[in-house]
Structure 1
Amino acid sequence: MDTREIRPGFYDKSKRSIKIPVGELRVGMYVSKLDRDWLETPFLLQGFLLESQDDVDTVAEYCQHVWIDAVQPEWVPPDEHGVMEPKTRKKTTYINKVSARDEHDQALGVFREARRLTKTIIDDIRLGGTLNTEEAKSTVKSCVDSILRNPDALLWMTKIRNQDNYTAEHCLNVCILAIAFGRHLGFSEAELEKLGLCGLLHDVGKMRVPPEVLNKPGPLDKKEWNQMRAHVIHGRNLLLSSPGITHAAVDVAYSHHERMDGQGYPRKLPASGISEFSRIIALVDAYDAMTAKRCYAPAIPTTQALKIIYKDRGTHFDERLALAFIKSVGLYPPGSLVELKNGLVGLVLEGNKQYRHLPKVILLAQGDEPLEREKIVDLAQVEAGKLDKSYLIRDTLPDGTHGIFVRDYREKGLVFKS
């Protein structure tokens, strides 16, 4: 058969697989086999559709001959490949099954066990072991169950930080944030479990990065930066070799540093080539990283992180998803450390759906000086004229500012809720 007669997107179903030189490849063909090992190439899946001339050129860089299938799976046009809301998707509407207070104790147990399992998974990989797929899926399932009951209880626990276990805690936080965001977007329960697994495993490749590079407190030189960027390749390869892992998790591990403007890494994918799950994890990954203290950078307040996401919408991040994420997080999520215009400092206890800028706050300090008595203030009283405007929030602060840590108040039994 003359393969040059094949129209893009259509195949002669009387044939199975045909070996051809790469010079005869055309957009629309389905590559099923290479003349070299898949893991020696940047290709994500063992078998893929050529959706653009860039795909054809990339294959030509690595191979001399390939095998194409004469039977084509359903073809999605390149301009629709990255569409966010397929017409076939039905949004799921959720309601909170319990209050945040009622979910709190159960969520704390979920969080502690998930944190333990995540650390075990990460440590096993660091020591050269294999990924425990069942433990990973079990961790995600417990988080999904809690978030479906009420997302607020588990969400604020992502603010409990321990820099010594940054990578493991970051992976778990991205998992929780992604599930909660997916719930906000109306994903089905099955989609939430898949998305949560993508979040949990997105950075597993960092366990193959030399520790002295991963934990370096200062700027990375060119060689070190290349080693760090290689974590997406390590993650892809590790997950490809792990039985029972969905292709979506492989894709996210490989693609969560791609950008909408095509300037990401490792492949500089155009926006149309970046999956929805990769776009979501890119958002929550950046948000959690920016709001955490890392070995090379201090934490920034949540409002500042959201401003950066807003500024970078459409270039770094998907614009529609960025705006939806900002809305889902809110101005002052429970557990946020805030400073009022009068200099008082406190933790946000409870959101206000009517006046989002006026939450309930437990006042703890005046600058660096702890108050003699902690006091709960409903800032909505400013709107009612019962508090003066000096009680408006001036700014959010990183966890640990003025010596105030969320974890300390959790240990005292404090409950945050929306």
Structure 2
Amino acid sequence: MDFNEVRPGHLKSSEKTIKIHISELKIGMFVSKLDRPWLETPFLMQGFTIECLEDIDAVAEYSEYVWIDAVAEEWIPPEARASLKTPSKKISYINKVDAKAEHARAMDTYREARRLTRTLLDDLRLGGVVNTEQAKTTVKDCVNSILRNADALIWMSKIRSQDEYTAEHCLNVCILAIAFGRHLGMGEADLERLGLCGLLHDVGKMRVQSDVLNKPGSLDEKEMNIMRAHTVHGRNMLMASPGIPNSTIDVAYSHHEKMDGTGYPRGLKSSGISELAKIIAIVDAYDAMTADRCYSPSMPSTEALKIIFKDRGTHFDDRLALEFIKSVGLYPPGTLVELVNGLVAIVFETHSKYRHLPKVFAVRKQNARLEKNVAIDLSAIEAGRLDKSFLIKRALNDGSFGVFIKDYRELGLVLN
């Protein structure tokens, strides 16, 4: 059987790995291994499906031989096929300005959006309703910034304060969801709809008692049930607020549902969960994992993406999880990294072609602070203008080597 042919109602599953020359690579094949270390390529992980001719060209730039998975057919039930639908035509966006030019505007946007988000949640905590127009204005400002250049506002979303976790988490999910929606090719109106879902997805936590919400240790069964009730509270609060779209109410109610039906509050399976809820579920989990929480320290972006990859198809929608990993990249803006040569740097702007070689600004040489923050475009490695000692060795947790992203945001980003 030709392993690129799949009958209706069947899904391809891996059987064995075959080494082939890149000239034999075809659309639909799953590349499981390259003939060079994957960290020296722009591919996010060692394992991806060839979806178009451009993917073949990209592989050919880095490898002569690849290993592909030969596959057999596996029947899947109709209710699980909903996530396999072909996405509608995408809108292609280009950055209107570079990240440095957008930085000052993004900082103003983020500060105002954070202030409005705090006010919005405080009003709900005191028994009020959502100021819908205020929420929509906040989202629209974020959409405008991300359409100009997503990297600048994503950099701002790395700023954390554990004392204000819920407010900052809501805003960050809004920002990251809009950026993901841009990657998916959504139109501007859909981006605003998605952003509002992100901003308001956790409003129900304003009805959860603080000793449970902020408990530093594990929750017992009773406390877990109280926490899980935030989805029901969120639905009810948004239903009582005038002008809130039904899609936003649904996401607040459904963003903890899982593809395999083990989520809450209703135990829905994939076919019963909306596309927007599936998106917010991924973004919500990613932002939570990369933040310091009262019961769990943050983890590097790369580790969070590995968990999302592992849980795709069971916890998260398979297609959207893979797209999210592509969207975020190995080193998103605001990521603290250590280079092979010992420099400690903060990622400032991603590179569309070389995702593993972003623009960074170096701030330390391990334990010694540099006199000046030095901007480095790591894509120069591919052009031979930088040696390979400038490759990224690993992503670090915020605070490693005494470098805190928040300090650089508050001092203002200075590049020399």
Q: Is the 8 A contact 1:338 1:397 kept in 2?
A: yes
Q: Is the 8 A contact 2:84 2:319 kept in 1?
A: no
Q: Hey, what does 2:306 align to over in structure 1?
A: 307
**What displacement does 1:273 show?**
0.2
Residues 372, 316 of structure 1: alpha-carbon distance in 2 compared, 3 angstrom cutoff: same
Deviations 1:98-142 (A, max 9, x none): 332222222221111110000000111112222211111111111
**What displacement does 1:388 show?**
4.5
Q: Distance in 1 between matches of 2:373 and 2:328?
A: 26
**What displacement does 1:284 show?**
0.4
Q: Distance in 1 between matches of 2:383 and 2:105?
A: 36
Q: Is the 8 A contact 1:82 1:274 kept in 2?
A: no
Q: Distance in 1 between matches of 2:80 and 2:299?
A: 35
Q: Hey, what does 2:354 align to over in structure 1?
A: 355
Q: Distance in 2 between matches of 1:381 and 1:121?
A: 45
**What displacement does 1:381 show?**
4.4
Q: Hey, what does 2:154 align to over in structure 1?
A: 155
Residues 150, 376 of structure 1: alpha-carbon distance in 2 compared, 3 angstrom cutoff: closer
Q: Distance in 2 between matches of 1:84 and 1:146?
A: 30
Q: Hey, what does 1:129 align to over in structure 2?
A: 128
Q: Distance in 1 between matches of 2:318 and 2:80?
A: 16
Task: Find the residue that maps to 2:141 and give its secondary structure.
Answer: helix
Deviations 1:350-394 (A, max 9, x none): 333333222233222233432345433343444455554443212
Deviations 1:266-303 (A, max 9, x none): 11101100100000000000010001111110010011
Q: Is the 8 A contact 1:349 1:415 kept in 2?
A: no
Q: Distance in 1 between matches of 2:86 and 2:305?
A: 29
Task: Find the residue that maps to 1:285 and give its secondary structure.
Answer: helix
Task: Find the residue that maps to 2:267 and give its secondary structure.
Answer: coil
Give the share of equivalent positions with the same residue, in percent.
66
Task: Find the residue that maps to 2:374 and give its secondary structure.
Answer: strand
Q: Distance in 2 between matches of 1:87 and 1:371?
A: 50
Q: Distance in 2 between matches of 1:353 and 1:190?
A: 24
Q: Distance in 1 between matches of 2:96 and 2:373?
A: 31
Q: TM-score, normalised by structure 1?
A: 0.76
**What displacement does 1:85 show?**
8.3
Matched, 1:146 2:145: yes
**What displacement does 1:80 show?**
7.7
Q: Hey, what does 1:35 align to over in structure 2?
A: none
**What displacement does 1:87 show?**
7.2
Q: Distance in 2 between matches of 1:184 and 1:207?
A: 31
Q: Hey, what does 2:92 align to over in structure 1?
A: 93
Matched, 1:232 2:231: yes
Q: Is the 8 A contact 1:103 1:146 kept in 2?
A: yes
Task: Find the residue that maps to 1:376 and give its secondary structure.
Answer: strand
Equivalent residue pairs, number:
339
Q: What letter corresponds to residue 152 of structure 1 in structure 2?
A: D
Q: Hey, what does 2:263 align to over in structure 1?
A: 264
Q: Distance in 1 between matches of 2:325 and 2:184?
A: 12
Q: What letter corresponds to residue 340 of structure 1 in structure 2?
A: L
Deviations 1:201-233 (A, max 9, x none): 000000100000000111111111111011001
Q: Hey, what does 1:287 align to over in structure 2?
A: 286
Q: Is the 8 A contact 1:338 1:395 kept in 2?
A: yes
Q: Is the 8 A contact 2:151 2:349 kept in 1?
A: no
Q: TM-score, normalised by structure 2?
A: 0.76
Matched, 1:187 2:179: no
Q: Hey, what does 2:51 align to over in structure 1?
A: none
Q: Hey, what does 1:243 align to over in structure 2?
A: 242
Q: Distance in 1 between matches of 2:97 and 2:380?
A: 27
Unmatched 5+ stretches in structure 1: 1-77
Task: Find the residue that maps to 1:242 and give its secondary structure.
Answer: coil
Deviations 1:233-281 (A, max 9, x none): 1111111111111111111001000011111111110110010000000
Matched, 1:365 2:364: yes
Deviations 1:143-193 (A, max 9, x none): 112212222221111011111111000000000111111111111111111
Q: Distance in 2 between matches of 1:177 and 1:394?
A: 25
Q: What letter corresponds to residue 325 of structure 1 in structure 2?
A: F
Q: Hey, what does 2:68 align to over in structure 1?
A: none
Residues 363, 99 of structure 1: alpha-carbon distance in 2 compared, 3 angstrom cutoff: closer
Q: Is the 8 A contact 1:301 1:397 kept in 2?
A: yes
Q: Is the 8 A contact 1:341 1:394 kept in 2?
A: yes
Deviations 1:304-326 (A, max 9, x none): 11111111111111110011111
Q: Is the 8 A contact 1:82 1:273 kept in 2?
A: no
In the TM superposition, what are the counterparts of 1:55-94 in structure 2 within 5 Å? 83=82, 89-94=88-93
Q: Hey, what does 2:42 align to over in structure 1?
A: none
Q: Distance in 2 between matches of 1:89 and 1:168?
A: 33
Residues 398, 228 of structure 1: alpha-carbon distance in 2 compared, 3 angstrom cutoff: same
Matched, 1:252 2:241: no
Residues 415, 326 of structure 1: alpha-carbon distance in 2 compared, 3 angstrom cutoff: farther
Matched, 1:409 2:408: yes
Q: Distance in 2 between matches of 1:175 and 1:195?
A: 8
Q: Distance in 2 between matches of 1:308 and 1:84?
A: 19
Q: Distance in 1 between matches of 2:282 and 2:266?
A: 18
Q: Structure 1 residues 306-315 or 336-345, which shifts more?
A: 336-345
Q: Is the 8 A contact 1:201 1:249 kept in 2?
A: yes
Q: Distance in 2 between matches of 1:278 and 1:285?
A: 10
Q: Hey, what does 1:223 align to over in structure 2?
A: 222
What is the CA RMSD across the aligned residues, in angstroms? 2.2
Q: Distance in 2 between matches of 1:352 and 1:152?
A: 10
User: Which of the two has higher C-alpha Rg?
Assistant: 1
In the TM superposition, what are the counterparts of 1:203-214 in structure 2 within 5 Å? 203-214=202-213
Residues 212, 397 of structure 1: alpha-carbon distance in 2 compared, 3 angstrom cutoff: same
Q: Distance in 2 between matches of 1:388 and 1:88?
A: 41
